[in-house]
């Protein structure tokens, strides 16, 4: 489910709140995505709505992604494949609409921010983390690829960390999200009610650019007034090592460096394990998506990813990956092929086919 609320501001204008609410860590269903898109259209044209706030219900998650179980059932019956197509189409368009929304969009990224949840978070103009935030794009573990625009925005992170995250499914904590550019502001999780009070009293104007600057100034000031006790950085001490491991333009060489890591950093050891367990086809597809995205506009990236996702629904490892991870939960996916060295480039090209 998703809930909408118009929160009255002190000057007679309103803040539009989108509350993601589902039993599976606020994961998005097609019905939720369609409702949000419909509401965005209403609020875009409502002069009394000056800004949006997106958050997740409860304390565990902002949003853990899409409803992958529903996609599995769509993949299991050819008569329902169109439902999977529709989900990806509307999910990607939702992120595009948030990315372009003419009014400030604030995302309260408390707890788990993964997959499609990170897509929404990344599309927001004002991204807020808390001490409990965990960000990840773990799609290679289910035979998909980092999507919802991630082929574009993961590459915007500082250094080569975005490349490592995409190729392994490794996680960011709040400190690293701030340090590498995945978020701009940090506030303690227990200050949300106080934040709302501050937002209600701000002198909103209804002018998008001016209100965006107003929100940035307020969130920066609150970050100083309400310092958030954040976890120690995982990736800053490893930035040079990540840069070295992920340097170059040869995927197999980079993957070999990742999987042969023998140092003492637990995060890099885990990255090697995650990649070794992921779909070889997905790893290659992730790499190719990122390469192509470098020469594309944001809209073109979204269209490319939709083609990729549509083809993942029909062939490749996606069905098997979801089965092993979420349906049977045996964590024993039968990837095809099983090794990176066995992936054929012609097969990767097929994921970009329009027919």
Within-domain flag for 310: yes
Residue 355: per-residue pLDDT: 62
Residues in Cβ contact with 8 at an 8 Å cutoff, skipping those fewer than 6 apart: 14, 200
Taking Cα atoms as reference points, which of 204, 234, 202, 205 lies closest to residue 218?
A: 202
Structure tokens at 138: 């773990």
Within-domain flag for 162: yes
Give how many domains the chain has, as a whole number: 1
Paired sense of beta strands 14-20 and 2-8, if any: antiparallel
Q: Is 181 left (phi over 0), alpha (psi -120 to 50) or beta?
A: left
* pLDDT tens digits along 297-354: 999 999 999 999 999 999 889 999 999 999 999 999 999 999 999 999 999 999 999 8
* pLDDT tens digits along 110-147: 999 999 999 999 999 999 999 999 999 999 999 999 99
Within-domain flag for 187: yes
Within-domain flag for 38: yes
Residue given tokens 């004002």 in the structure block: 126
Question: Could you tell me if 174 and 130 are in contact, meaning their C-beta atoms sit under 8 angstroms apart?
Answer: yes
Residue 185: per-residue pLDDT: 98
Residue 22: per-residue pLDDT: 86
Taking Cα atoms as reference points, which of 57, 144, 141 lies closest to residue 92?
A: 144
* pLDDT tens digits along 254-274: 999 999 999 999 999 999 999
Q: Residue 17: which pLDDT band, with cuts at 50, 70 and 90?
A: very high
Distances (CA, A) of 162 to 26, 90, 155, 231: 24, 25, 5, 20
Report the CATH number at residue 283: 3.90.226.10
* pLDDT tens digits along 68-79: 999 999 999 999
Over 80: is that where the pLDDT of 198 sits?
A: yes
Q: What is the mean pLDDT of the chain?
A: 96
Over 80: is that where the pLDDT of 18 sits?
A: yes
Rounded to two decimals, what is the model's pTM? 0.96
Q: Give me the phi and psi of 173, to 5 degrees please.
A: -90, 180
Residues in Cβ contact with 286 at an 8 Å cutoff, skipping those fewer than 6 apart: 139, 140, 145, 146, 151, 166, 167
Residue 142: per-residue pLDDT: 97
Within-domain flag for 56: yes
Q: Domain range spanning residue 95?
A: 2-350
| % helix, strand, coil for the chain, step of 5 | 55, 15, 35
Over 80: is that where the pLDDT of 5 sits?
A: yes
Cα-based torsion angle of the residue sequence 189, 187, 62, 301 in order, rounded to the nearest 10 degrees: -170
Within-domain flag for 103: yes
Within-domain flag for 145: yes
Residue 37: per-residue pLDDT: 98
Within-domain flag for 355: no
- Please count the CA atoms within 13 angstroms of the CA of 33 that sit on its side-chain side: 27
């Amino acid at each position: 489910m998703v809930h909408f609320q118009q929160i009255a501001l002190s000057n007679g204008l309103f803040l539009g709140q989108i509350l993601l609410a589902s039993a599976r860590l606020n994961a998005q269903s097609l019905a939720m995505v369609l409702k949000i898109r419909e509401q965005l259209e209403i609020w875009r044209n409502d002069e009394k709505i000056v800004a949006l706030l997106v958050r997740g219900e409860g304390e565990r998650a902002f949003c853990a992604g899409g409803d992958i179980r529903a996609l599995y059932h769509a993949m299991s019956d050819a008569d329902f494949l169109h439902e999977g197509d529709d989900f990806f189409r509307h999910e990607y368009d939702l992120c595009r609409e948030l990315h372009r929304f003419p009014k400030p969009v604030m995302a309260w990224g408390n707890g788990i921010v993964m997959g499609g949840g990170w897509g929404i978070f990344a599309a927001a103009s004002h991204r807020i983390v808390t001490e409990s935030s965990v960000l990840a794009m773990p799609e290679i573990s289910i035979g998909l690829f980092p999507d919802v625009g991630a082929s574009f925005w993961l590459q915007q992170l500082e250094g080569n960390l975005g490349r490592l995250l995409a190729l392994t499914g490794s996680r960011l904590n709040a400190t690293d999200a701030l340090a590498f550019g995945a978020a701009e502001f940090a506030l303690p999780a227990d200050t949300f009610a106080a934040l709302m009070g501050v937002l209600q009293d701000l002198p909103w104007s209804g002018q998008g650019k001016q209100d965006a600057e107003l929100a940035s100034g307020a969130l920066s000031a609150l970050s100083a007034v309400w310092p958030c006790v954040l976890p120690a950085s995982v990736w800053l001490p490893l930035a040079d090592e990540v840069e070295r491991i992920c340097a170059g333009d040869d995927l197999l060489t980079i993957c070999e460096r990742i999987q042969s890591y023998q140092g003492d950093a637990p995060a890099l050891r885990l990255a090697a394990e995650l990649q070794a367990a992921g779909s070889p086809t997905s790893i290659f597809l992730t790499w190719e998506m990122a390469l192509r995205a470098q020469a594309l506009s944001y809209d073109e990236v979204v269209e490319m990813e939709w083609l990729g996702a549509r083809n993942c629904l029909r062939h490749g490892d996606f069905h098997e990956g979801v089965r092993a991870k979420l349906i049977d939960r045996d964590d024993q996916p039968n990837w095809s092929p099983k090794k990176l060295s066995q992936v054929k480039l012609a097969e990767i090209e097929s994921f970009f086919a329009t027919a």
